[in-house]
Amino acid sequence: MFILDSHCDTPSQIYRLGLDMSCENEGTHVDFPKLKRGEVDGAFFALYIPASMDAEPEKGFEYALKMLEATRRSVEENSQLAAFASSREQAYKNKGEGKFSVFLGLENGSPIGESLCNLKLLYDKGIRYITLCHSGDNQICDSCATAVKKWGGLSPFGREVVAEMNRLGLLIDVSHVSDDTFYDVLKYSEKPVVATHSCCRALCDHPRNMTDDMIKALAQSGGVIQINFYPIFLDSSESASVERIADHIDHAVNLAGIDHVGIGSDYDGIEVTPVGMDDISMMPKLFDELRARGYSESDLFKIAGENFFRILG
């Protein structure tokens, strides 16, 4: 079984804090010792661009490249422990060599500015998914977090972005987008899309979460929802635990089927964690809970990583 976490905000920590990934670090959720204890084989390290940079795409792009470079140096300095990957085949090869796989994503598409050429540049640098926006409406689409929407879904340029991402093989991430944007993406994308770190709105009424109809539509298009660990998205009382993560997995599986659900923890990007899930080393607790609920090893194989790998290609 290959355990893949589809969303960790670790590059921000590496760049801002000068994080030594080879050591156990206090106050952060992800480093190589924690990953090893958590039996996690790979993760998407997301280059997070805050919405405060949306109006300055060049500044955001420069910041993304700085995070990417810091992450590259970190992986190179720990080449005995980790290696980059951009496909299932590379990931399994790394695992066979005893190495953790670092995949790359961009969280917030605003740094591409108004140039589709920047998508190709990011792809060539190893980026394999882009979260279209964050907490603000940008030039691509509306966010779930704004009170007054700018576009009513995707912008005209956003439709071009979707088409170009399809052409390049860049996964479209609909976490953080508005409901209207979500349905526009499904309408205009010719390939399956992913919610890399989202939860179920039926269990926790938050605009960042997906409604039952959205989860069903995502699955019908061939996509996957990767369940987020942030307590605010798991439980309205914010007293979340590993059991509550499993509740969201159960709910998504019941709606979408076992082939359309996975894990995207949001570690290193969340202020608090579920009780007993302090960092990524605790991941085995989740799989133990799922086994206790009757999930087969074949089911867990899919949730752990194969569902995401299917659409990664």
Q: What is the pLDDT of residue 238?
A: 72
Give me the sign of the Cα torsion angle 119, 125, 130, 135: negative
Number of domains in the chain: 1
Long-range contacts of 211-218 (CB under 8 A, 24+ apart): 211/179, 212/255, 214/179, 214/182, 214/183, 215/252, 215/255, 215/256, 216/255, 216/256, 217/183, 217/186, 218/174, 218/186, 218/193, 218/256, 218/260
pTM of the predicted structure, to 2 decimals:
0.98
CATH assignment of the domain containing 12:
3.20.20.140
pLDDT (tens digit per residue) in 74-124: 999 999 999 999 999 999 999 999 999 999 999 999 999 999 999 999 999
Which residue range is the domain that position 142 belongs to? Answer: 4-312
> How far apart, in whole angstroms, are the C-alpha atoms of residue 49 and residue 176?
13
What is the token pair recorded at 25? 């670090």
> How far apart, in whole angstroms, are the C-alpha atoms of residue 106 and residue 113?
14
pLDDT (tens digit per residue) in 183-235: 999 999 999 999 999 999 999 999 999 999 999 999 999 999 999 999 999 99
Residue 237: pLDDT band with limits 50, 70, 90:
confident
DSSP one-letter string for 222-279: T-EEEE---HHHH-TTS--BHHHHHHHHHHHHHHH-GGGEEE---BTS-SS--BT--S
Question: What rounded mean pLDDT belongs to the chain?
Answer: 98
Number of H helices, E strands in the chain: 13, 9
